[in-house]
Amino acid sequence: MEIQKSKGIVLSSRQIGEADYSCTIFTKEFGKRDFIFKGLQKSKKRPQIVSEPGTTANIVYYFHDEKTSYIVNEYNIIKHNINIRNDLKKIYLLYFLLSLIEKTTGYNDRNNSIYELIVAGVDNISRTNFTEHLSVFFSLHLLRLQGILPDFKKCKICNKINYHGFYIDTADFHPVCSKCAASAKSKTISFNRITKEFIFQSLNKKFGSIDHPTFDSANLLNFLFSITLFIENYYHVEIKPKSLLLAELSEKSAVK
C-alpha cells in the first residue's frame, strides 16, 4: 500500500452506508478511478461538496494494486462552480457531459487531453447560455479524442468534397451527400448547411471564439440527439442524463 496524490474532477457520486460517499473521479495523473470519502455525511470539518459532480479537487489517498476503489485520506477543493447549481438547464448539461466521459472511458487509462476537455467543458457551462452548442461541441471533441470521429469533409459513399446536401448515416454517423442518401443501406437523417458549418467551426476553433447566435439551436438540438444515439450504440451504454437535457432544451426551444 502506498500514498498517492491526484488532481481530479468528480464524474458521479453516491452515498454508501450512513455517512460515506463513493465517487468516480477522472484524475489528471491516472485517468478514471473510484474513491471513498469516509464519514463525509457527518463531518463538520470536511466540506461535503467535494463529492458533488463537477467539483475539482486535490486528493491524497491510499493506493493498493488489488483494490478497485481507494480511501481518501485528505483533500482540498480547487473549484466547485456553484453558479451552475442555480440554473436547471446548466445542471442537466453538467451531468450530461460528465456522464459522456464516465460511460466512454476505461479505468486507469490516463488521458490528459480528455482531462483538459472535461475541465474546459465544465468551465464553459458556467460562462455560456448556448447549451445546445456546448453539448455538440463537447461531444464532437470527445469522439475526436476517442479516435472515432467521422470525416465530415466528404461523403462516405462517393467521397465527394464540398457536397451541398448533408445527411448522417445512423449506423455509423458518417456524412452522406444528397445524391447518395437514397442508396445508403441504413437510415439517413438530413441536416442543413448551418449544422455542417457548426461542426467544422467546432473542430477548428475554441468554443468562445464561435459566433453562436448565427447557428440555430433547433437544428443543433436534432444533431445532439443523433450524436448521443451514436455514442450509446457504439459503446453499448445509456447516457441517462440525455433525456432530461433534451427535454429541457426542447422546452426552451419551443418557448422561443
Same domain, 156 and 61: no
Domain count, the chain: 2
Range of the domain at 15: 2-80
Amino acid (1-letter code) at residue 60: V
C-alpha cell at 96: 450530461
Q: What is the pLDDT of residue 253?
A: 56
How many angstroms separate the first and last alpha carbons of the chain?
A: 57
Q: What is the pLDDT of residue 199?
A: 95
Give the helix/strand (H/E) hosting 243. Answer: helix 241-255
The SS3 assignment for 177 reads coil
C-alpha cell at 45: 470539518
Same domain, 141 and 243: yes
Q: What is the pLDDT of residue 252?
A: 59
* Cβ-count burial 213-251 (b if 16+ within 10 Å, e if not): eebebebbbbbbebbbebbeeeeeeebebbebbbebbee
Q: Which CATH number covers residue 163?
A: 1.20.1440.120
Q: What is the pLDDT of residue 66?
A: 87
Q: Which of 52, 80, 108 delimits the end of a domain? A: 80
Same domain, 98 and 49: no
Q: What is the pLDDT of residue 83?
A: 83
**DSSP strand E in the chain: where?**
2-16, 20-27, 31-37, 56-63, 69-79, 166-169, 175-176, 188-191
Same domain, 244 and 142: yes
Q: What are the mean pLDDT values of the chain's consecutive 10-residue runs (256 residues total)?
A: 93 92 97 94 78 96 91 93 86 96 96 97 94 96 96 91 84 91 88 91 96 92 94 96 90 56
Q: What is the pLDDT of residue 254?
A: 52
